[in-house]
Amino acid sequence: MPIALIAHGGAGNWRPGSEQDAVEGLKAAVEKGRGVLRAGGSALDAVCATVVILEDNPIFNAGTGAVLNFDGFCELDASVMVSRGACIGAVAALQRVRNPILVARKVMEETDHVMLAGEGAQRFARVMGFPDHDPITPARRADWQDKRKRVDEVLGKHSLKMRRFLKDHPEYAGGTVGAVAVDKDGILAAATSTGGVTMKLVGRVGDSPIAGAGNYASNHIAASATGTGEFVMRALAARAISEAVQHGAPVARAVAEVLDGLRRDYEADVGIIAVDSAGTPVAQHLTRDMPHAYFSGEHEVASRMRA
């Protein structure tokens, strides 16, 4: 069976000067996942290894370097899914851990549940041996201070609707990470991790930990979405791609049709990566940027800022 893996670093507008780092960071992460697959490892191990590297890279909005919520702390969402057995593990609004994707995997492997949230997810992480880790970097803290000041000036002290502000300041968007892969046994897996949308209300959960929305793996495809999760959840975007492929659409067309719908219905700022069981990697986005890297079969890793 052909092996393949593709990873993204978030749909949005990357800050000038950070593009090269984003593309190189993705390339290094995908090299790691490729090494796992080429050594005969599972798609699950490959996507987790890839996402861990991206979570540890502070330029991405996941794990260390995640964006802060309105009150100035991180709430991390992540999920994994494996096609065989439709196994899912997810965490939402997790505050202090280095690699949320590994906690999500533990939820899948060590509990009867699909998702743990907030305080319960935090306690579970500690029981599973994940030490306390503050994901906030000085750069993200400075961003947050700047944004809070501007939001107060632009919207007034009590506005809770941030979308307009963020649309006017798109340089602040992006950075979620995701990886999808197919292994030598034809098993597909998806992993997505994020700090969510910047300045989100405390307790807000996005699409990334919701199976079928921001993350999904079936026998047909594995997909990971990025961009404003409220739109991705309405469209159940990743699941819709799987259904289209199941009914005979090539994966690239299935992704394009889902994105067309998101543009038409919501003018959504969304991007999607997917891979099918034949090892075809796809990246498409409605935003200006979505750094991504991929390989399939015997090919070397390729990486770029825009599809």
Active site residues: 176
Binding residue for ligand ASP, selected from 33, 214, 279, 291, defined by CB under 6 A? 214
| Paired tokens of 210 | 């919701």
Nearest to 279 by CA among 306, 261, 297, 299: 297
DSSP-derived pairing of the beta strands 115-117 and 87-94: parallel
- Number of neighbours of residue 5 by Cβ within 10 angstroms: 33
- The reply on whether position 227 binds ligand ASP by CB under 6 A is yes
The stretch among 110-118, 130-138, 155-163, 223-231 that binds ligand ASP (CB under 6 A) is: 223-231
- The reply on whether position 296 binds ligand ASP by CB under 6 A is no
- Cβ(224)–Cβ(213) below 8 Å: no
- The reply on whether position 174 binds ligand ASP by CB under 6 A is yes
**Between the CA of residue 28 and those of 16, 158, 212, 299, what are the distances in Å?**
21, 42, 28, 15
**Between the CA of residue 55 and those of 60, 77, 261, what are the distances in Å?**
7, 12, 30
**Between the CA of residue 103 and those of 107, 209, 221, what are the distances in Å?**
6, 12, 23
Measured from the CB of residue 151, what is the shortest distance to ligand ASP in angstroms? Answer: 18
- Cβ(273)–Cβ(295) below 8 Å: no
- The reply on whether position 208 binds ligand ASP by CB under 6 A is yes
- The reply on whether position 197 binds ligand ASP by CB under 6 A is yes
Binding residue for ligand ASP, selected from 57, 69, 79, 194, defined by CB under 6 A? 194
Binding residue for ligand ASP, selected from 42, 57, 224, 228, defined by CB under 6 A? 228
| Paired tokens of 152 | 């107060």
Q: Interface residues for ligand ASP in 54-83 (CB under 6 A)?
A: 77
- The reply on whether position 206 binds ligand ASP by CB under 6 A is yes
- The reply on whether position 286 binds ligand ASP by CB under 6 A is no
Measured from the CB of residue 92, what is the shortest distance to ligand ASP in angstroms? Answer: 10
Euclidean distance between CA atoms 99 and 56, whole angstroms: 8
Query: Largest Cα–Cα distance in the chain?
Result: 57
- The reply on whether position 209 binds ligand ASP by CB under 6 A is no
The stretch among 116-124, 226-234, 238-246, 275-283 that binds ligand ASP (CB under 6 A) is: 226-234
Measured from the CB of residue 227, what is the shortest distance to ligand ASP in angstroms? Answer: 5
- The reply on whether position 100 binds ligand ASP by CB under 6 A is no
Q: How far apart are the first and last CA of the chain?
A: 26
Q: Which residues are near ligand ASP by CB under 6 A?
A: 10, 77, 174, 176, 194, 196-197, 206-208, 214, 226-229
